Amino acid sequence: MAQANWSSSLESNKAAGTRLELLLFQLEGRQMYGINVFKVQEVIPFKKLTRLAGSHALVSGVANLRGITMPIMDLSRAIGGPAMKDPENGYIIITEYNRSVHGFLIRRMDRIINTQWDQVQSPPRATGREAFVTAITMVDKQIVEILDVEKVLDQVVRASTDVSADLTDRISGGDRQVLVVDDSTVARNQIARALEQLGIQCTLVPDGQHAIQLLEKMLEDGVDVSKHFTMIVSDIEMPVVDGYQLTTWIRQQPQLKDLYVLLHSSISGVFNVDMVKRTGANKFIQKYHPDDLARAIHERIDSGASSA
């Protein structure tokens, strides 16, 4: 299959979920940054913070907001920039990632824009802050860096990748492979570490486009992809080709009709569940908890055994 074929197929069969809303903001310089609006609960003027003894250097303090005591991080310092000057004149972005709420200090909020995931590109490799930039896009002829907030949070609050012993003990033998698709390096590695405890090997790719290219090459080489991969574990929100578009493409390939697709997202809700059904994915889980992923793997293995 030529690249033009799958590109035109995606263009004519776009899922409604490919729309992306970005909150644009600035830190201490002129550079514009963005994060997914659906991960933002609120943006508020600076509130007085309480510094806790022994807290991480990137945590400016804690605040009680929305009835929740949460850490407030200096986002500028977290991505390798200077500390926030006069934070009392700035703002706090309250976000929810991976089932936890955190606040980030910013200098100023710009606006919210609407775009599409296919207008978002992976960052160039030779950028100084690439570890904290998951994607880039253009707004009014200006580059907007979309931050990998999971990477920022991982510096302060490392997510557990330990799978409960009762779930690791249940894994059956065999050489099992899972294709992991996620634009966050942190998320990819977290998933891989969790699956390794189940004796599962992972192939890691950064977005849906790379996944399609890999699957096309395997099909051209005569590989039975549905047998090679126990499942695909894919993020939904990714640049170029998102999880919905990837799933749509997979379901359009007769050779991949039995390929099991699990979609995950830090954005929960009925909308995701509905889109999972519409695009033909097999399952949706809200990331990230390793036991949920382990249970989904066991469910897939058990269902495959019973249908064999």
Q: Is the pLDDT of residue 233 over 80?
A: yes
Per DSSP, helices labelled H in 54-201 are: 75-78, 149-156, 165-168, 185-196
Identify the bridge partners of residue 42 per DSSP, sorted by sequence position: 94
- Where in the chain are the domains? 18-156, 159-307
If one compares 10 and 267, the residue with the highest pLDDT of the two is 267
Residue with tokens 């991480």: 56
Q: What is the residue whose two structure tokens read 């698709």?
A: 181
For residue 308, pLDDT beyond 80: no
SS3 call for 224: coil
> Torsion-angle region of residue 39: left (phi > 0), alpha (psi -120 to 50) or beta?
alpha
What is the arithmetic mean of pLDDT over 163-172? 75
Q: Which fold is adopted by the domain 159-307?
A: Rossmann fold (3.40.50)
CA dihedral of residues 293, 172, 282, 240 (deg, nearest 10): 60
**pLDDT above 70 covers what percent of the chain?**
84
Q: What is the pTM of this model?
A: 0.74
pLDDT at 19 over 80: no
Q: Which of 66, 304, 74, 80 is nearest to 174 (CA)?
A: 304
| pLDDT of 126 higher than 60 | no
pLDDT band at 217 (very low <50, low <70, confident <90, very high): very high
Domain 18-156 sits in CATH at 2.40.50.180
